[in-house]
């Protein structure tokens, strides 16, 4: 198993595939457009310094994509340092319980440390999978993360959508609100 930084268009296709699987498993009625994922991957590949956005992909021993983690940097309101904010993090079901998720998280943390971030935010939004959520938070706790605050989310759907149970909004905004 290995984790690499998204650097090529082919790896971008792997992220698109994983994002689609992620959405099918946990997306509910959340808006999803593969072109938005493509746009993010292109921005990532074009910014070799990874000043604002980064993405990592985990591959199994057969070089098949098995997970990804995408993150952004946001300037702090209170200091001249930044926050690293995990946007999406997913590992396919057959690879959960392996080191894939931790390896992705380690790559994310390394980037945040290199960027001198004050804080690293990560979150789990699996409303229909409480056991998985608790497992992930247990792992995060062992790695030095702690639950902090609450996030209130209000979604604005297109008029043709109606889902009172969708708690999703842009993760970066949610993570920033959690610091309060």
- Write the CATH number for 7: 3.40.630.30
- Where in the sequence is the domain holding 49, given as residue range(s)? 2-178
Give the per-residue pLDDT at 127: 65
Q: Can you give the pTM of this predicted structure?
A: 0.82
Over its length of 180 residues, how does the chain's per-residue pLDDT go in tens digits?
999 999 999 999 999 999 999 999 887 778 899 999 999 999 999 998 988 899 999 999 999 999 999 999 999 888 999 999 999 999 999 999 899 999 999 999 999 999 999 999 998 877 667 888 888 888 899 999 998 887 777 878 755 544 444 444 334 434 444 444
pLDDT digits (tens, 9 = 90+) for 101-129: 999 999 999 999 999 999 999 988 776 67
Dihedral angle, C-alpha 35, 122, 125, 41, nearest 10 °: 10
Question: How many domains, in total, are found in the chain?
Answer: 1
């Amino acid at each position: 198993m290995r984790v690499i930084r998204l650097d090529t268009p082919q790896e971008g296709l792997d992220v698109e595939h994983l994002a689609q699987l992620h959405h099918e498993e946990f997306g509910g009625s959340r808006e999803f457009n593969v072109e938005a994922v493509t746009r993010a991957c292109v921005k990532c590949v074009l910014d070799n310094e990874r000043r604002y956005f980064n993405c990592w992909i985990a591959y199994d021993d057969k070089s098949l994509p098995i997970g990804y983690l995408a993150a952004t940097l946001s300037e702090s309101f209170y200091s001249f340092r930044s926050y690293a904010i995990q946007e999406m993090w997913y590992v396919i079901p057959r690879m959960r319980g392996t080191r894939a998720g931790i390896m992705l998280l380690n790559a994310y943390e390394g980037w945040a440390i290199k960027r001198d971030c004050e804080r690293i935010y990560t979150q789990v939004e699996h409303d229909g999978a409480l056991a998985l959520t608790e497992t992930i938070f247990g792992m995060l706790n062992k790695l030095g993360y702690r639950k902090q605050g609450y996030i209130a989310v209000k979604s604005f759907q297109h008029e043709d959508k109606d889902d009172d149970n969708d708690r999703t909004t842009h993760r970066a905004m949610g993570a920033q609100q959690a610091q309060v």
